[in-house]
Amino acid sequence: MGEFKYTLGVLKAYKKPSPIQSLVISINQKPDHVAIIMDGNRRWAKKKSLDPFKGHERGEETVEEVLEQALQMGIKYTTMWALSLDNVEKRSEREIEHLMDLFENNFKEIKDDERIHENKVKINVLGLWRETLPQRVVEAIEGAMEATEDYSEHYLNLLVSYSGKVEMLEAFKGMVEEARSSEVKVTPEKIKENLYTSDLPPVDLMIRTGGEPHNSAGFMMWDVADSQFYFSEKLWPDFTAEDFEKAVQDYARRERRFGR
């Protein structure tokens, strides 16, 4: 993905809805699951002659605004690419260490934040985070997930140390392993069963910021197979709650034919 995408503003995001006026969208038009590739933090900072991390800090504020708007609009599932596997493997040691501190502190706060509990937001973290992140961060993530595991009103899914290609590879490895002990019929349902996202519905709307209309590292390639795509020219730190609302409104105006 070329830069760190993370959600350090999750705590503030799920507060009680602000009085932002939204277009009324019927339940049949509204996407159930919105996934976001938050691209442009580093480029935003570079344009302003700032340290790249300043772009991530500004991007955090955008995360807060967008997640609050998603909650207000009644989006049940919001998925955000927080950190790619490539980022973990290729970024500088200094940058990684700084981000790990931020991740640890943020997830520790999520565990006890009353706004998360008031809004019954279940936190899911998907990817190879257990295998690639420091134990202190793993424990903080597990704490936040355990504290919200019984909730089901809203779902915030964070992809951490994630690669869509690796996700598909692991799914097929899982089916091969299962086939060794029993007869396995390969079906779409069986593939889904072996994905990180096995408990999530397909993505209805995929949003990518940053002005580059493409996918990255096979982002949720199975789950976005029938998605509507929305590309914004804005870099992520400049993307607003109103821009998110505009994307959802655009989705609501489209006709999804599914090959019919």
Q: How far is CA 26 from CA 56, 144, 170, 252, in A?
A: 35, 32, 38, 9
Kindly tell me the sign of the dihedral angle through the C-alpha atoms of 189, 148, 125, 240.
positive
Q: Would you list the domain boundaries of the chain? A: 10-162+202-253
Exactly one of 28, 32, 39, 157 is catalytic; name it.
Answer: 39
- Cβ-in-10-Å burial (0-12, 13-18, 19+) of 25 comes to middle
Catalytic residue flag (residue 157): no
Exactly one of 28, 32, 51, 87 is catalytic; name it.
Answer: 87
| Tens-place pLDDT, residues 193-231 | 999 999 999 999 999 999 988 888 889 999 999 999 999
Nearest CA to 125 out of 79, 61, 167 is that of: 79
Catalytic residue flag (residue 39): yes
**DSSP 8-state secondary structure symbol assigned to residue 238:** G
**To the nearest whole number, what is the mean pLDDT of the chain?**
86
Quick check: 76 and 124 in contact, CB under 8 A?
no
Give the three-state DSSP class for 248: helix
Kindly tell me the sign of the dihedral angle through the C-alpha atoms of 27, 31, 33, 38.
negative
- Homologous superfamily assigned to 10-162+202-253: Decaprenyl diphosphate synthase-like (3.40.1180.10)
Task: Quote the CA–CA distance of 61 and 112 in Å, as a whole number.
Answer: 20
| Tens-place pLDDT, residues 148-168 | 999 999 999 999 999 999 999
Percent of the chain at pLDDT exceeding 70: 88
How much is the pLDDT for 251? 95
Other C-beta atoms closer than 10 Å to the C-beta of 178 total 14
| Tens-place pLDDT, residues 55-83 | 888 888 898 899 889 988 999 999 999 88
pTM: 0.85
178 falls in which pLDDT band (50, 70, 90)? confident
